[in-house]
Amino acid sequence: MRGNWYRRMLLSYFPIFLITVAVLFFIFVIIVSDISYKQTVKADRITTDYVVGRLTSSLKGIEMDVLEEVEKNKRYEDFLNVGLTEQDSEIILDVAGSIRELASRDSLIESIYIYRMKDQKVLTRSGLMDLETFADRVFLEEALTKLDDRSWSPIRGYREFSSNQEKRVISAYRREPLPFGNDGLVVINLDMYAVERTIRSMNSSEVSFLDVRDASGELVFSTRSADMALQGEKGRVVNRVTSEVLGWQFESGLAAGQLFTWVSFISYIWVVLGIVTVVAALLYLIFITRKNYQPIRAMVGRIESLRQREDELGLKRDELSMIDRALEDLIRQAADYEKQQRDNLLIGRRQLFYDLMQGEVPDRLEDRLKKLGVLPKEEPLQLAFVVVEIRNYPDFRSSFSERDQHTLKFALTNVLQELAQIDGLYGWTEWIAEERMGMIVGVSRNELSAAEAIRGFVDKGKAWVEQHFRFPLLFCVGHVERDWQRIDRSYKAALDVLQHKLSLGQEAILMSEDLPEAADRKWHEYVRMISELVRDFRHLDGDWRMRLDQWFEQMSQDCLKDEDIRMLLQMMMDMLGYEMIPLSAELRDVFQGPEGKRLRKDTEKAGDLEQLKSLYSEHLTGLYRLYVAHSETKNHRAMVSELKTYIEENFENPDLSLKHISDRFHISAKYASYLFKEEFNLKFVDFIVQLRMERAQELLAETDDTIQNISIRVGYANSITFGRVFKRIVGVTPGDYRKLKLKPDRTRHSGI
């Protein structure tokens, strides 16, 4: 059994190793060959494009040079004038000389001649001749039928004289004068042999070949070597490029036998290197296998000495089975032990955290903290408890799945602890409620302001979480304590801060130092302010909005608890409901219907006093409009009549005023003034003055009572004020009125 396992191990490695190496080597050779082929094709394409481009530019250059000379040299234009040439024979000599000079500029030009249509004469570098005697007459006659054809002709034979040897040329012709004249033609003939020589000079027949075919597909020219032609070798065409000027197709490829010569050479090198590598790897594999086998054998011997038993099937285990079974048991036991230890540690930490929160400090606290791994390295510390709450927790639950919620909470605890460490602080976090986490933050006692250090840390934590986790947090910081035994006080202070979220506003960092003393909160003041607001509301006095603002501002300054704020708001709505509900079913629905339930639900969701103020201001505004509409439609004329009667009966009362009327009839002073103006088109004060003046006229005319007593009887405190008003209304003083024995004027009051 000792040798079997070693041989199995050795033989198990070999096939995998050999197959892997062989496959990798084969893939490498294929990739190298493919890359080499693609690069070769690409290089051949570049060469072919260069040949075609070079030839095209040469042809265009020749054509431009000839046409430029024809256009600039006035002698060509003079030659087309038959009468002028008959008078001046030098014109023919000058043009013929220019043609010879143009032909000598480029080796590709075989000849140039000009045909004059008027007398059918042809001028070559040799001289002037008739079309009938010109050897290239057939080409000219065909060109005259296709005057607008601007392409180069196919390869053709050309002779200037019938006795000359025919040459292979390609030709192009253009009208004279340029560009669309009908007086003659300029014909340019290129030597095909020179063209082929130019193409051959740009191509290496040993490495590649180039076949040139005309528009009909016939082979025009090939750069294949004589050996290739004799041996009948056919190189593979890899690129085809068409010349737009000539209409020829250039087919290029690599000469047979040369395509993969250098690739094969590289492949041979890699084959040798691969074989050497495989042999070296095999030797090293045998060495390593033999070396590693010795400790495994020793381990198997120890396991055999401990387990001399058979398995369930009665078969003895080999080395691998025994090692596998032993390792499996060991790993399972280690994992179970580690999990149990981790769970115990987490439970212990959480329990100690809760005990410190509740003020139940265990004995030997420092040893307990050290055992649980939460004892800070730096001692002593200033400690504070921070309550971290997820804002809008219902939105948080609806935005994330349950699994994501647990993941984010776990990440949040680690992030806050790491941020505390970065700032040089101690941090210990545990979740104390579904939406709330507790954190004990420690600051070195050398720190001058522990509160400022903690504020800086929570400010950084708030910004980091909002930027990366995309949900807001609320930090409530308790008092700073100097030992672990008093951490429960800081926790209670943090909870107290948490109960003032509405008062402290949208700030994400709430410190216990920000809270005012409880003695500053005067409950009778809040009840008084609510009563005045309800009274103004009931009397239709618009000042209730100002009182609502003052009330919320006072609650913000006193920093009331959230539950106290909600209780006062409910008290206000109850007092308003007591006044409004009996008035109409519509007003009752506002308080007891769906709108009232929605108001209570929105009150619970509000995050600060500003939101509550906006919510209740909007709600009370709608209620006020409804109440005003109700008041204006209910017994409107009856109220006006009642007001008029009451004033007529009590106008002698010096205290009669709009405020008196407001208190008497439970309506606002502004509304009472509005009623008088609307009904009588008369101000309230003017109405009372008219009543008093009419009564004063009666007393002055019918009694002997003094003016002082009359002024008091009609509601004036002194006779001076009475006299001034009487003169303004009646036109004379009270004394003159009595002396003149005038009669009372009742038209005004009777008109009303």
Task: Check residue 1 and give its pLDDT.
Answer: 45
Taking Cα atoms as reference points, which of 334, 208, 204, 250 lies closest to residue 56?
Answer: 250
Q: What is the predicted pLDDT for the residue at 519?
A: 40
pLDDT the model gives residue 40: 76
Angle between helices 585-592 and 594-605 (to 10 degrees): 30
Numbers of helices and strands, H then E, in the chain = 29, 15
Tokens 């004063």 sit on residue: 696
Domains of the chain as residue ranges with CATH: 73-198 (3.30.450.20), 376-514 (3.30.70.270), 519-633 (no CATH), 636-751 (1.10.10.60)
Q: How far is CA 166 from CA 89, 157, 161, in A?
A: 30, 6, 9
Give the per-residue pLDDT at 262: 54
Q: Which tokens is 651 given? A: 């106008």
pLDDT in tens, 309-325: 544 444 455 555 666 67
Structure tokens given for 604: 């619970």
Q: What is the DSSP string of 393-458?
A: HHHHHHHS-HHHHHHHHHHHHHHHHHHHHHTT-EEEEEE-SSSEEEEEEEEETT-S-HHHHHHHHH
* Residue-wise pLDDT tens digits, 658-667: 888 887 777 7
Query: Which parts of the chain register pLDDT below 50?
Result: 1, 229-233, 257-260, 310-315, 519-520, 747-752
From CA 163, how far away is CA 59, in angstroms rounded? Answer: 29
Q: Give the chain's largest Cα–Cα span.
A: 167
Using a cut of 0.75, tell me whether the model's pTM lies above it: no
Identity at 330, one-letter amino acid code: L
Q: Please give the C-alpha separations between residue 696 and each of 159, 187, 693, 715, in angstroms, as whole numbers.
A: 148, 135, 5, 10
CB 686 within 8 A of CB 728: no
